[in-house]
Amino acid sequence: MLNLEECNICPRMCKVNRAIEEGYCKARIPLKVNLYQLHFGEEPNLAGENGSGAVFFTHCNTNCIYCQNFSISQFGWGKEISKFKLVDIMLHFQKSGANNINLVTPTHYTPQLIESLKIAKEKGLSIPIVWNSNAYESTETLKELEGLVDIYLPDFRYFDNEAAKRYSDAEDYPQVAQKAILEMFRQVGHIKEKNDVAVKGLMIRILLLPENKNRVDKILEWISHNIGNDTQISLMGQYYPTYMTTAYPEINRPVSDEEYHAAVDKLYSLGFENGYIQERCSSDIWTPKFINENDSS
283 domain residue, yes or no = no
Q: Can you tell me the distance from the alpha carbon of 251 to that of 205, in angstroms, rounded to the nearest whole number?
A: 19
pTM as predicted:
0.96
Is the pLDDT reported for residue 296 higher than 60? no
| Chain segment 244-263, per-residue pLDDT in tens | 999 999 999 999 999 999 99
pLDDT given at position 288: 78
Q: Can you tell me the distance from the alpha carbon of 165 to that of 149, in angstroms, rounded to the nearest whole number?
A: 29
Pairing of strands 192-194, 197-207: antiparallel
97 domain residue, yes or no = yes
In order, the DSSP letters of 123-173 are: TT--SPEEEEE-S---HHHHHTTTTT-SEEEEB---S-HHHHHHHHS-TTH
Q: Can you tell me the distance from the alpha carbon of 267 to that of 256, in angstroms, rounded to the nearest whole number?
A: 17
At 294, the pLDDT band (50, 70, 90 cuts) reads low
Q: Which range of residues forms the domain containing residue 92?
A: 31-277
How much is the mean pLDDT over the chain?
96
pLDDT given at position 283: 59
| Chain segment 272-289, per-residue pLDDT in tens | 999 999 998 865 666 778
213 domain residue, yes or no = yes
55 domain residue, yes or no = yes
145 domain residue, yes or no = yes
Helix axes of 173-188 and 161-168: crossing angle, nearest 10 degrees = 100
14 domain residue, yes or no = no
| Chain segment 15-66, per-residue pLDDT in tens | 999 999 999 999 999 999 999 999 999 999 999 999 999 999 999 999 999 9
Residues above pLDDT 70, as percent of the chain: 97
106 domain residue, yes or no = yes
293 domain residue, yes or no = no
CATH code of residue 128? 3.20.20.70
pLDDT given at position 297: 34
Q: Can you tell me the distance from the alpha carbon of 217 to that of 206, in angstroms, rounded to the nearest whole number?
A: 10
- Structurally, the chain folds into a number of domains equal to 1
Is the pLDDT reported for residue 138 higher than 90? yes
